[in-house]
Amino acid sequence: MPPVILSAAGACLVLDDSGPGLPRVGHFGADLGPVAGSVLAPALESLAPVPPLLPSQGDGWYGRPGLAGTRHGEHWPVRWTLDALDARPAPGAGGTVTVTASDPRAGLRLATELAMDAHGVVTMRHALTNTAPTPYRLDGLTCALPVPARAAELLDFTGRWALEKTPQRRPFTYGVWSRENRRGRTGHDGTGLLVAGTAGFGFRGGEVWAVHTGWSGDHLHHAERLPEGAALLAGGELLAPGEITLAEGETYLTPWVYFTWSGSGLDEAGGRLHDHLRARRGRPLPVRPVTLNNWEATYFDHGLDRLLRLADQAAQAGVERFVLDDGWFRGRRHDRAGLGDWYVDEQVWPDGLHPLADHVRKLGMQFGLWFEPEMVNPDSDLAREHPDWILGRHERTPPPQRHQQVLDLARPEAFDHLLDRLDTLVREYSLDYIKWDHNRDIAEPVHDGVAGVHAQTLAAYRLIDELRRRHPALEIESCSSGGARVDYGVLARTDRVWTSDSNDAIDRQAIQRWTALLVPPEMMGSHVGAPHDHVTGRSLPLAFRAATALFGHMGVEWDLTSASEAEREELAVWIALHKRLRPVLHAGRVVRADHPDPAALVHGVVLPERAVFAFVQLASPVASAPAPLRLPGLDPAAVYEVRVAGPAPGGAVLPAWAREPVRLPGSVLGELGLPAPGLRPASALVLEVERA
């Protein structure tokens, strides 16, 4: 048979099923043009050996196998026989391929789904079925695609609480570079994307390939290159020993794994992923209301009068949604008690939350509430009444973190109780929004005697899905002590992520810059924090904090009752600017210049007719004459008007174009650029660009 070709948006995948065994991906990269599969057959024969869709030694792959498992402690090497291949290419719009294979001697059957969407993103997952009468213990099953020899560097990310998405680069040498997460959630150090690229690739240049595992539990990404010349990127769920044992007829389904390619740097690769995520939701994302969260304003102080005043100030500033954070439920005067008792605290709220919710809605704002459904304090009625609901071995309680234990959501009675409480509160208060938190790693997870992260993750998904089914208009934010649950598994069922618990605008510039490779701006919570940041202790001007929050799903995390009248008026100006610009910010293509000055950043969001950019000065520049301000992503043949949007930062030395709008072709703005303004450290200038 001739090779199968899937192509879309300038990307192409060629699947060679000439056999024997499973098909092999002969090419994933630039579109090859209008060529027939028969023409490609000789070229595929001349390529360096490439692994099949599920690599194994039987296929000549001597790297990490795609499938690992045993049957009664015996190792059965698998040699797949291709049973069927159903290819449905849609030239220019991708297409789908379903592969089924079996090995009767090993007692296994495999079904692989592979698709390319209209944006060139490839998704893959495997389903493995045990066809033998004896149990099969599955130890690992990953999805992989090959990358060519010119992929010479690797980029991934690490991080910690309040400093997520810290990049790290290294040569793509021989052997395995593996990132394995065993935290029971995506993790602050979760890489999100593992990227391979040509030497020196950046945001706007170089060829890159990337993989993302859409799973909120334990997971892995790895890159491997063998001396024989083959190399690949892979991802999947990281299974603990004995976590998955398949009885006869049972099937394990991997998470979806996402692959993207770009011929012109990271921006294009991320843009494909943004387009994919925006298109797959099945419903349009509503206008993203400017959100005030009261946590850093009041913490556990839930005095009604104070919250009413905060709501008044929020509404006057232009806020559209008010979210009541931790502290509203029984016994919750600090973080050591009450978690899990999802009843409004009668001592603090004798009339329930209605006085606050009604006041918020009279002011024209939506009302939201914070929950942490998957956790429980040992000092709670729930834990005292149901100690057996804690995830772990009952003979020995797992180590506590943050005075918390984890509820075993895979226990039907625990699941039903949580669903009932959440459903009841959403109905009673007609909640518009839930901030769904998950504040600790999962240690020593045991469910029914086996490792429990897999069952816990699926149960959390079911809980969110059922709540959304009952309340289709409800919006849910995925928060996990900041950005520790950011992945396409949770984003399949939530509306945004809380990007970081740090609102320090300097740190946020980098956190948002790299998170945006995976998540579009309208799904990244980005708030204006207080003048003195509660995490870093750094004091930053309002203009810089607001210009940073402008480029996400904007909100406020600040006690506005303590702000001066001038500060509240300036904040209102920035919120009004965000509302005016969010049709661009929340729909356009994210672009980042490879700016030569490491003390400065240039980034923006571009639509065909309009764009918004920011020039950000993080620290003092080394050069006395700053590098030109180049605006990437514009149509080189079009003429644009460039003007300053929003308040100019204090102390700025503005060139002539920043004082009066200028009109220039996109080619000039992208290549030659504009004279850069002179900005003090920790300041930003926002630019609005419109096709003339």
Contacts 24+ apart (CB under 8 A), 604-611: 604/631, 604/632, 604/633, 604/687, 604/689, 605/521, 605/551, 606/633, 606/634, 608/635, 608/691, 609/690, 609/691, 610/584, 610/688, 610/689, 610/690, 610/691, 611/584, 611/640, 611/688, 611/689, 611/690
Question: Taking residues 2-10, what's their average pLDDT?
Answer: 94
63 lies in the same domain as 140 = yes
Q: For residues 491 and 213, give the distance between their C-alpha atoms in angstroms, rounded to a whole number.
A: 12
Q: Is residue 286 part of a domain?
A: no
Say whether 430 sits in a helix, a strand or coil.
coil
Distance, CA of 191 to CA of 580 (rounded, Å): 34
Q: What is the CATH number of the domain that holds 645?
A: 2.60.40.1180
Q: Considering the chain, what percentage of its residues have pLDDT values greater than 90?
A: 92
As to burial, measured by CB atoms within 10 angstroms (0-12 exposed, 13-18 middle, 19+ buried), residue 396 is exposed
What is the model's pTM?
0.97
- Evaluate whether 270 touches 178 at the Cβ level (below 8 Å): no
Is residue 379 annotated as part of the catalytic site, yes or no? no
d(CA 490, CA 484): 11
556 with 610, same domain: the answer is: no
Domain boundary among 244, 260, 280: 280
Determine if residue 487 is labeled as part of a ligand binding site.
Answer: no
How far is Cα 521 from Cα 509, in angstroms, rounded to an integer? Answer: 13
Q: How far apart are the first and last CA of the chain?
A: 53
437 annotated as a binding-site residue: yes
Distances in Å between the Cα of 590 and the Cα atoms of 503, 519, 608, 645 are 21, 10, 12, 18
Question: Any idea what the CATH number is for the domain that residue 163 is in?
Answer: 2.70.98.60
Return the H-helix or E-strand segment holding 355: helix 354-362
Q: Are 477 and 525 in contact (CB under 8 A)?
A: yes
Residue 281 has pLDDT above 80, yes or no: no
Catalytic: which of 408, 501, 504, 507? 501
Tell whether residue 177 is among the known ligand binding residues.
Answer: no
- Same domain membership, residue 297 and residue 268: no
448 labelled binding-site residue: no
Picking from 280, 304, 339, the residue at the C-terminal end of a domain is: 280
Specify whether the CB–CB gap between 616 and 600 falls below 8 A: yes
**Strands annotated E in 553-682:** 553-557, 589-592, 600-606, 610-617, 639-644, 662-665
**Percent of the chain at pLDDT exceeding 70:** 98
| One domain for residues 274 and 140 | yes
Structural domain includes residue 285: no
Give tens-digit pLDDT for 539-573: 999 999 999 999 999 999 999 999 999 999 999 99
597 and 582 fall within a common domain: no
Write down the mean pLDDT value for the chain.
96
What average pLDDT does the segment 446-453 reach?
A: 96
Q: What DSSP string describes 640-660?
A: EEEEE-SPPPTT-B--HHHHS
The answer on 422 and 317 residing in a single domain is yes
- Residue 657 amino acid letter: W
Domain final position from 518, 553, 587: 587
Answer yes or no: is 161 a known binding residue. Answer: yes
Residue 18 pLDDT > 90, yes or no? Answer: no
Q: Residues 394-403: contacts with CB within 8 Å, 24+ apart? A: 398/443, 398/444, 398/445, 399/443, 399/444, 401/440, 401/441, 401/443, 402/335, 402/439, 402/440, 403/335, 403/336, 403/337, 403/377, 403/378, 403/379
Which residue from 185, 184, 189 is spatially nearest to 166, judged by alpha carbons? 189
Residues 75 and 157 grouped into a single domain: yes
How many other CB atoms sit within 10 Å of the CB of residue 288?
A: 25
Say if CB 55 and CB 140 are below 8 A apart. no
DSSP 511: H
- Bond from prior residue into 23 cis (ω within 30 degrees of 0): no
CATH label of the domain that carries residue 304: 3.20.20.70
For residue 282, is pLDDT > 70? no
Cβ contacts of 332 within 8 Å, gap of 6 or more: 300, 326, 338, 339, 341, 345
Query: Quick one: angle between helices 565-585 and 542-549, nearest 10?
Result: 20
Q: What integer pLDDT is reported at residue 58 of this predicted model?
A: 87
Instruction: Identify the pLDDT of residue 163.
Output: 98
- Inter-residue contact 186 to 216 (CB < 8 Å): yes
Query: pLDDT confidence of 302, banded at 50, 70, 90?
Result: very high
Residue 411 in any domain: the answer is yes
**Does 491 score more than 90 pLDDT?**
yes
- Please tell me whether 501 is known to bind a ligand: yes
List the Cα angle 672/578/323 in 5-degree steps: 140
- Per-residue pLDDT tens for 208-242? 999 999 999 999 999 999 999 899 999 999 999 99
Could you tell me the two tokens for 210?
């990337």
Check the annotation: does 150 bind a ligand. Answer: no
Q: Could you tell me where the beta strands, DSSP code E, fall in 372-495?
A: 375-376, 405-406, 433-436, 446-447, 450-451, 475-478
- Domain presence at residue 564: yes
Report how many helices (DSSP H) and strands (DSSP E) the chain contains, helices first: 13, 38
CB 568 within 8 A of CB 310: no
Cβ atoms 231, 147 nearer than 8 A:
yes
Q: How far apart are CA 435 and CA 498, in angstroms?
A: 9
Q: Torsion-angle region of residue 135: left (phi > 0), alpha (psi -120 to 50) or beta?
A: beta
* 287: in domain: no
Per DSSP, the three-state class of 468 is helix
- Give pLDDT, residue 36: 63
Name the DSSP letter for residue 560.
Answer: G
CB 395 within 8 A of CB 362: no
What distances in angstroms separate CA 331 from CA 339, 382, 539, one per listed residue? 8, 12, 34
User: Does 249 lie in the same domain as 144?
Assistant: yes
* DSSP 3-state of 248: coil
**Is residue 433 included in any domain, yes or no?**
yes
Same domain for 636 and 552: no
**Predicted local distance difference test score (pLDDT) of residue 2:** 81
Give pLDDT, residue 285: 81
Res 575 pLDDT > 70: yes
User: What is the domain count for the chain?
Assistant: 3
Q: Which residues pair with 554 in a beta bridge?
A: 526
Same domain, 208 and 148: yes
Which position among 156, 408, 437, 533 bears the catalytic label? 437
d(C-alpha 590, C-alpha 102), whole Å: 44
- Look at residue 24 and tell me whether its pLDDT is greater than 80: yes
- Judged by phi (left if over 0) then psi (alpha if -120 to 50, else beta), residue 206 lies in left
Q: How many CB atoms lie within 10 A of CB 57?
A: 12
Answer whether residue 108 is part of any domain: yes
> Could you tell me if 211 and 257 are in contact, meaning their C-beta atoms sit under 8 angstroms apart?
yes
- 271 lies in the same domain as 328: no
Q: Which domain holds residue 252?
A: 4-280
The pLDDT of residue 262 = 98
pLDDT of 309-326, one tens digit each? 999 999 999 999 999 999
Q: Which of 32-41, 179-188, 387-396, 561-570 has the lowest mean pLDDT?
A: 32-41
- d(CA 130, CA 249) in angstroms, rounded, equals 5
Name the residue type at position 10.
G
Q: Give the torsion sign (CA, 74, 77, 82, 86).
A: positive
Examine the domain organization and report whether 582 and 601 are in the same domain: no
What's the confidence (pLDDT) of residue 47?
Answer: 60
Q: Is 325 assigned a ligand-binding role in the annotation?
A: yes
301 is catalytic: no
Angle at alpha carbon of residue 537, lines to 536 and 540, rounded to 5°: 100
Write the pLDDT tens digit of every residue in 31-73.
998 876 667 777 776 565 778 999 999 888 999 999 999 998 8
Instruction: Evaluate whether residue 544 is within a structural domain.
Output: yes
- The residue assigned the tokens 């429990």 is 452
What integer pLDDT is reported at residue 161 of this predicted model?
Answer: 98
Strands 446-447 and 433-436: unpaired
